[in-house]
Structure 1
């Protein structure tokens, strides 16, 4: 199954609510991901642009979009990003395939 890096930034109201009454956000994320047929491998809180970073495994891109949309629809996220990840083996296969078709692409010339 594909892997996804999901990063989110909580809204100010969400941070305020979590400070006032902390709750296990990893358990909530795991429940959603498993309900959609995926697996949460890791969830980290972070410093910087994103408050949370998750490594998620799921069946396909529709799975990931459904999960991200469900989280966003709650109104507690002010921003997010999803990156589809590849294993090293898949990347090596893609690079080999690129090598096979190099002559098919003509770059623009100025």
Structure 2
């Protein structure tokens, strides 16, 4: 299954709710991923632009999109970015194929 990097920023109201009632985000978000056949591999709180980053695995782009839309619709997030990840092996194959393309591609002149 494909992997994705999810980066979120919480609203101040969401932080306040989490301070009042701390809960394991892996359980809450993991159950949401399970609902569409995905799973949360790992999650980390972070400093800076993003408050939480997670590596998640989903069957396809449609499943991760459904998960992202549903979690964003909950109102706890001020931002969310979900990025498809490419394995190193797939990346190497992509570069080999790119080399083939560069042999025939002609940029505009």
TM range (shorter): over 0.9
CA-CA distance at 1:100 after TM superposition:
1.1
Q: Give TM-score, length-normalised by structure 1.
A: 0.93
> Any gaps of 5 or more consecutive residues in structure 2?
none
Q: Which residue of 1 aligns with 2:37?
A: 37
Q: Which residue of 2 aligns with 1:70?
A: 70
**RMSD between superposed Cα atoms in Å:** 1.1
Q: What are the superposed Cα offsets for residues 84-105 of structure 1, whole Å, 9 maximum, x if unpaired?
A: 0011110011111111111333
> Which stretches of structure 1, 4 residues or more, deviate above 6 A after TM superposition?
none
Q: What are the superposed Cα offsets for residues 62-108 of structure 1, whole Å, 9 maximum, x if unpaired?
A: 11111110111101100011110011110011111111111333334
SS at match of 2:29: helix
> Any gaps of 5 or more consecutive residues in structure 1?
none
Task: Give the total of aligned pairs.
Answer: 109
Q: What are the superposed Cα offsets for residues 31-81 of structure 1, whole Å, 9 maximum, x if unpaired?
A: 111111012110111111111100011111111111110111101100011
